[in-house]
Chains A and B, each alone.
Chain A
Amino acid sequence: MNSEKLIDLCVDALDRTKRKGADEVEVYAESVRTITVAIEKNDLQVSRAQKETMIGVRAMCKKRVGFASTNDPTTIDETCADAVTLAKASPADENNVLPQPEKSEYVSGIYDPACEGFTIDGAIEQAMKMLDIARSIDKRLILGNGEFSVHIGTRALINSKGVSWSEPESLFVYYALATAREGEKVSNMDYQFDATRNADSIDVEPITRRACENALGSLGAKKGESFNGQVVLSPNAAQSLFASLILFQANAKNVLRGMSRWKDALGSAVASDLITIVDDGRMPDGVGTASFDREGVAHKRLNLIESGKLASFMHNTYTATALRMENTGHAAGSARSVPGIGPSNFEILPGERSKDELVAEIDKGVLVTRFSGRADPVSGDFSGVAKGGYLIENGRISRPISGTLIAGNTFEALKSLSGVSREQERVFSLTLPYLRLEGISVTAG
């Protein structure tokens, strides 16, 4: 559905909701078409085509909120009525307000018109390419899972204060999970992901190759060693260990609930001064790039952590109002639910040294390509298995290790870390470097 038609739908829903007694209304609509080709055990699995338009209506009556959504245009009237009924029956909260209009500056480069002509055959061709690459590298490889998908959509948002946005977008997403098998020996499963907005930039080869090579490299892994020392995390492992923890602490809703450890830490050091974290909703070719957030507030580039110091929380309108802070445009979520809070393109900025240089300074350590375990967002304690682990000895990667446990505290590790690589990789909408941690407990499994 094109932008004009989607806006018309939103305007109609807004008018109906007002007429039913709401004093403020927000309508958000998403129209999406997707093509997905899945890979399973070195073979194509199933190909899918999907199409849907979802409309979410948030009604406010005297600072009381109700929400209703539908994908069926014939039920739009009942949906608007539900939102008003729920609002009227709900308790009032003075922080229930909608954002005011601001100048609409649209980002460029998130929609490639060439996506419209992309067919299921084109998607199958890309998936086959992934299978062929794996086959050509080594017969012992298994692409256990993978996917190539195309997402073409339009988002529109209007509210009764006069906010009005709509924009089309395209996204090509691909990932591969590889393992290698030799007789009874099974390697670690390696996972790699990439995405692009432009049909011309689709390139499934680097991620497929990386997943396959990492899987092969971990074949024949043996028991590691136990010590307390340095650990290098891959971008993928850094995501599992650090990203959700940082996002939990920086989420203003958790600040408001008193659950964030960083609730009083604005301006003070929460990480090593090597760490600068940016969330940029306008990043070129970013997976999370969009002109406006889930409430119609313009996306911007925001420093969450600057040289180790906490610079900002992520806010939506509710938390910004309640905490009397600036709204950072981090309202997130789909048209199926009320706006929450989330990042757009989360990036730990690269350091100056290469990953190999970081490894070269380690006498004894472990490189972890994937982390499987638990990282508690409240206490920060983590423990789990280093998947695709390698022993580092005398400045070099010496051999793959299996079943090795790593444990520590993420808050402490974030402060004491001693290296950030200049190489970065994309993990969903996150862009992350390799990180070198200090004082981690490593136990041979």
Chain B
Amino acid sequence: MLQLLREIANRSSEWVELRYHARRSKRISVRNGKLEESSTLRLAGVGVRALIDGVFGFASTADISESGIARAVNEAQSAARASATAKREKIASFPHVALASGEFAVKTDDPLDGHPLTEKLELVMRIDQRIRSAAKKIVSSSVAYSELQDEKVIVTSDGAAAHIIDSKPDFRVLAVAQKDGDQAMGMDSAGVSGGYADLFAGRTPEEMADNAVRLAVDQLQANYAAGERATVVLDPGLVGVLSHEAIGHTVEADLVRGGAITSGKIGTQVGSDLVTLCDSGPSQYQPHAAGELLVDDEGVKTGRTVIIDHGVLRSYLHNRESAAYFGVEPTGNARAFEYSDEPLIRMRNTYIEPGTSNREEIIAGVKHGYYLQGLGGGGQADSNAEFMFGVREAHEIVDGKIGKMVRGVTISGNAFEVLKSVDAVADDFSWGLGAGHCGKGQLAKVDAGGPHLRCIVTIGGRQE
């Protein structure tokens, strides 16, 4: 395929980008013992971007024969040509960047194909059964496994020639407990770039099930939190959610141009000097981050992009086009979910760098506050960094000690105000957003995480 795409690209006198993407995906989901879905999907095709007179045209085809791809190149070029006369804004030229060449594969010792479909289906059925029989109070359960296996070849007429192999499984469990008409939900999930054993390296499926059950049942006995502005210690999962959802989207260069709050703020202090926030293609500190991306979908080699350096905003996230507009180097953030999608600016693995404090000491320093873990039911954030997230598990901190569980906790505020309030960052690290996708018109597998840290947020609770 690499050879074929190269030949086709070489025939074009104008700049062209060819992206072959073959995907095999599997999804198995069970709810209350009933199979909701067990399916496989195979997709193969080529997405073509052409650039003529500073204007892009895009075409995709599932016909991956030489003539089929050549036809798509023609279509992309006619789309670009037809738009070029009418479109006002043009791309001058791409800035210099190292384009990828060679083989790139996500590493694993335990490939997904070594485990047959039936094994995965039996696992999902067994864990669903385990949840429902774990406690009398459990009234509903659901378990899902899914995996994406990708092969890509990216060739551009200015030198990219990369062959990429990727593998991303994820697993989630959900338990609903009920007592006297009162319901509570518990969940857990994991997602990685890697193989089957990597997915369960942190917690076994049984541990995840038991965790969800414990959370659902314990919440029934917990009181609702009262609303207040409070000092909190966030776990790596919530630090990740904050970094990705509330900060990360506001530094995507297309949204910056659309008027996001970070516009014009490069070089200014946007957070506490304890905060260094990055978005990285390769996994950092802990292997198998779910958003691992070695080469982006424009053929740019990825690295670690420092967005905020000791509290100072240093960089946006770019594709080749936005880098040209801002006069900087591309950061390798162009991603397309399927062959028929155009690459957009997307995050990869977004995190805050570990600090120097000890986690126990950070908690010990809180007189009255909360220890908050993981993203619960839903949340939202917008381009002015205002956010509201549900918290999966919350405990009071009283006189430096973790106390009883509280339920129904949401946190909200302005993410940059929260970053400014950070007064301690732990020396630990983990990824915490593995399962699921980020959506921006199309999907992307991403991860996010960091260390434990202490900051101030607004706690939303319920007055009873």
Contacts and interface: CB of A to CB of B under 8 A. Distances in A.
Interface in A12-59: 37, 43-44, 46-53
Contacts of B44: 71-72, 75
A120 B121 contact: no
Interface residues of B, number: 41
A91 B34 contact: yes
B339 to A, nearest CB: 9
Interface string B52-75: 000011111111100000001001
Interface string A90-130: 11010000000000000000000000000011001000100
A51 B62 contact: yes
A118 to B, nearest CB: 13
A50 B59 contact: yes
Given A47-B79, A47-B83, A86-B121, A336 B56 contact: no
Interface stretch (B85-93, B185-193, B300-308, B448-456): B85-93
A68 B39 contact: yes
B35 interface: yes
A75 to B, nearest CB: 5
B78 interface: yes
A133 to B, nearest CB: 15
Contacts of A152: none
A86 B117 contact: yes
Nearest to B43: A71
A402 B42 CA distance: 48
B60 A50 contact: yes
B118 interface: yes
Interface residues of A, number: 37
B87 A44 contact: yes
A128 B86 contact: yes
A48 B79 contact: yes
Contact of A124 (B40, B60, B64, B82): B82
A48 B89 CA distance: 17
A274 interface: no
B263 interface: no
Interface in A74-93: 75, 78-79, 82-83, 85-86, 89-91, 93
Given A44-B87, A86-B39, A51 B60 contact: yes
Given A44-B86, A69-B42, A89 B33 contact: no
- Most chain-A CB neighbours within 10 Å: which of B22, B33, B38? B38
Interface string B9-42: 0000000000000100000000001110111111
B121 A89 contact: yes
Contacts of B88: 43-44
Contacts of B292: none
A146 interface: no
A321 B379 CA distance: 38
A337 to B, nearest CB: 6
Contacts of B62: 51-53, 71-72
A46 B55 CA distance: 8
7 nearest A-B pairs in the assembled complex, by CB-CB distance:
A47-B79, A70-B42, A67-B39, A72-B44, A89-B118, A49-B75, A44-B87
Given A72-B22, A82-B40, A120-B78, 8 more contacts: A43-B89, A44-B86, A47-B82, A48-B79, A52-B340, A71-B42, A75-B44, A120-B75
Interface of A: 37, 43-44, 46-53, 65-72, 75, 78-79, 82-83, 85-86, 89-91, 93, 120-121, 124, 128, 336-338
Interface of B: 22, 33-35, 37-45, 56-64, 72, 75-76, 78-80, 82-83, 86-89, 117-118, 121-122, 125, 340, 342
17 contacts: A44-B86, A46-B57, A46-B83, A47-B58, A48-B60, A49-B58, A49-B59, A50-B340, A53-B62, A68-B42, A70-B41, A72-B22, A72-B62, A82-B40, A83-B40, A89-B117, A338-B37
